[in-house]
Amino acid sequence: MRTVLLAITLGAGALSAYGQSKEVYKFEKINPEMLRQRLYPVDSGATAVILADVGETEIEGNAKGFFSFVFTRHKRVHILGKGGYDEATFALPLYHQVHDAEEKLESIRATSYNLENGQVVETRLSKDNIFTEKFSKNVDIKKFTLPSVKEGTIIDIEYKIASDYLYTLQPWDFQGSTPRLWSEYRLSLPQFLDYMFIYKGYVPFYINEKKDRQQQFSVIQPNQFERSDYYKFTAGITDYRWVTKNVPGFKPEAYISSPQNFMSHIDFQLSGYREPLTIKDLVPTWPQQARELLQSESFGQKLDKNNGYLSDVMRTLTRSTKEATARAVFTYVRDNFTCDGQQGLYLHSSVKDVFKNRKGSVAELNLLLVTMLRYADIDADPLMLSTRSNGTVFTTYPMLSRFNYIIATAEIDGQKVYLDASKPRLGFNRLSTECYNGMARAINNEATPVVFATDSLRETQMINVFLGNPDKKGWTGTFQQVAGYYESYRLRQEAAEKGSNTLGADLKKTLGSSVTVEKVVVDSMDRLDGSLALRADLSMELSGDDIIYVNPMMGFGLRSNPFISPERSYPVEMPYCMDDLYNFTFYVPDGYVVDELPKSIRMKLNDNNDGAFEFLISNSDGVISMRSRIRLNRANYLPDEYEMLREFFSRIAAKHNEQIVLKKKK
């Protein structure tokens, strides 16, 4: 089984082999038989199938004194059900900046094909139905949806984009949520441009080839005399071709950080020039990237300026120690500013305006936090990371586009703390599990690396259920829970959104209709740095039946195995290690005897102490005591460990579903 997650190649040739395949995909004319097809062997349950997706990028000389790339794409999709309608909607980002650099959608042709009365009917996309959305200062998005789409439609789209941005070429997805019968990307790359190829995923190439040839380039250089200079030269070209075939749709399973980490995909980043251009290495270092951010007006330029507008509030927040001051500043920003939910690295408003308006993005609030900490003479920096849902970053090459989140870091009494003031119920020196996604970088002169590993997090939880004092009506007892920090955070979020009564309602739902829950008490709701505790009084009816079944887990057990598939080609990525303890005490009512009792069990995940499970139960003079404990000392597991992990959880689920059987005395 392959376990390589991604390949990062500084020399492009490592992804390709010399040779040329004669197999070429042809987009045939749509006929009734194509439209009648409803099932495809690659995925019989698919609501859409990409019949073919072929893209090509070529570099050519332009009239601006340099080079541009031209990207063409031809895509054909069969919509099989309503769940596949999204495949008919497109959003094409186009970049534009100063100095006339831009991307243009030069041409587009899109058609829907339907079968009506045995005939193929075409409906073309009108240019009037292509809309432009102003996404940001430098990005417009062309949006459109193909017309007349219904179950059975085949859509066919071709478009061309010309771009002056050689720094990043068009990427390509060989895999996605929709099955792909044929996915092909071709790249014609001049040998005077060096690119880093970044490939990730598990799908093997059906065709992987390259060949060299010569090509003539023409470049027009405007000059100050309103005339143009013309340059022609011949250079070596390498033609690359990558094809995948019959790739099923990616189906995320439990415990995966981001599907994008594992779906097959290729990216390109310019790393340097060769002759006949001026030889230049364009690969920046991490410190260079960090310094550019610090000097940017859209990021760190004003972090150290004379921020006099903070003087009044900082007088009220300054304490006798740096830690106390840092806590006060963090709490002030977290509790008095609203996050608009936007992520990213850059400011859309100045820090001063964010302070005035009491609202900002994640980056804006945490950059304000850094500014205020520095105002208090606390050593603080911004820190950039990529959230789990955004995907992993490449540690060997500084690609800022891979990062999407800014937090604050500070050094207090020789200890580093990490702060996120954008989340209202997150404690001091606490980050959400979304932030634990591997390498991060402090934005300082050294670009100090920081690793946020899920294996470093441990979620510890304890639940006690007591059901005693049985009489003819039933049992009375208590419930106690000390939640782990992240479960506490979830419960606080839920209480804030739905009201505090929702915690008691959830407890009643878990315990079931036979249990009455009263006097629910929540401790430490507002102590955001620590865990939350929940207590309640319980009563459970005695049915009086000849046979009574009681599940000792009382709804808190593992009902089913979260790992359904028999095999898995990508890692298991849990948000943290875990130590989950559950205690159950139960008094057998008068007139009944224990007919069946689950057997005790102890087992290890493996011989490396990576995990263990124990289920210990006993009956002593009519008092049943049970203890269940699940420990996982690792959060991440490789594909070849999946079978072991799946079997481990299968046995836990089976044991948690076993019941105590009480039988009425005769």
Mean pLDDT of 142-150: 96
Q: Is the pLDDT of residue 64 over 50?
A: yes
Q: Is the pLDDT of residue 22 over 80?
A: no
Confidence of residue 628 (pLDDT cuts 50, 70, 90): very high
Tell me, what amino acid is at 408?
A
Give the Cβ contact number of residue 241 at 10 Å: 21
Phi, psi (rounded to 5 degrees) for 294: -65, -30
Confidence of residue 17 (pLDDT cuts 50, 70, 90): low
Q: Is the pLDDT of residue 663 over 70?
A: yes
pLDDT for res 12:
35
pLDDT in tens, 395-412: 877 888 889 999 999 999
- Is residue 9 within 8 A of residue 199, CB to CB? The reply is yes
Give the Cβ contact number of residue 73 at 10 Å: 19
pLDDT for res 312:
94
Handedness of CA 369, 375, 377, 380 (dihedral sign): positive
Measured CA to CA in angstroms, residue 42 lies from 48, 246, 259 at distances of: 11, 6, 19
pLDDT for res 225:
62
What is the bridge-based pairing of β-strands 154-163 and 67-79? antiparallel
Confidence of residue 218 (pLDDT cuts 50, 70, 90): confident
* Residue 387 host element (H or E): none
pLDDT for res 273:
86
Tokens of 463: 């639940």
- Is residue 355 within 8 A of residue 421, CB to CB? The reply is no
pLDDT for res 5:
38
User: CA 172 to CA 646: how far, in whole Å?
Assistant: 33
Contacts of residue 431, defined as CB under 8 A and 6 or more positions apart, other chains included, come to 407, 418, 420, 452
Contacts of residue 327, defined as CB under 8 A and 6 or more positions apart, other chains included, come to 319, 428
Helices 501-511, 485-498: crossing angle, 10 deg rounding: 120
Confidence of residue 466 (pLDDT cuts 50, 70, 90): very high
Confidence of residue 8 (pLDDT cuts 50, 70, 90): very low
Q: Where in the chain is the domain with CATH 2.60.120.1130?
A: 458-664
Percent of the chain with pLDDT over 90: 76
Q: Among the listed ranges 14-18, 234-238, 643-647, which one has the minimum average pLDDT value?
A: 14-18
Residue length of the chain? 666
- Is residue 96 within 8 A of residue 103, CB to CB? The reply is yes
Average pLDDT in the chain: 91
* CATH of the structural domain 458-664, one choice from 2.60.40.1180, 3.90.1010.10, 2.60.120.1130, 3.40.190.10: 2.60.120.1130
Domain 286-452 sits in CATH at: 3.10.620.30
pLDDT in tens, 597-609: 999 999 999 999 9
Mean pLDDT of 305-331: 93
pLDDT in tens, 368-388: 999 999 999 999 999 999 999
Closest CA to 217 of 243, 191, 195: 191
Mean pLDDT of 9-36: 72
- Is residue 661 within 8 A of residue 547, CB to CB? The reply is yes
Mean pLDDT of 351-361: 95
Tell me, what amino acid is at 339?
C
Mean pLDDT of 497-509: 93
Q: Among the listed ranges 135-139, 142-146, 242-246, 648-652, which one has the minimum average pLDDT value?
A: 135-139
Phi, psi (rounded to 5 degrees) for 360: -175, 175
- Is residue 571 within 8 A of residue 639, CB to CB? The reply is yes
Q: Does domain 47-281 have CATH number 2.60.40.3140?
A: yes
Q: Where in the chain is the domain with CATH 3.10.620.30?
A: 286-452
Confidence of residue 14 (pLDDT cuts 50, 70, 90): very low
User: CA 627 to CA 625: how far, in whole Å?
Assistant: 7
Q: Where in the chain is the domain with CATH 2.60.40.3140?
A: 47-281
pLDDT in tens, 428-445: 999 999 999 999 999 999
Q: Is the pLDDT of residue 13 over 50?
A: no
Handedness of CA 431, 435, 440, 445 (dihedral sign): negative
pLDDT in tens, 563-586: 999 999 899 999 999 999 999 999
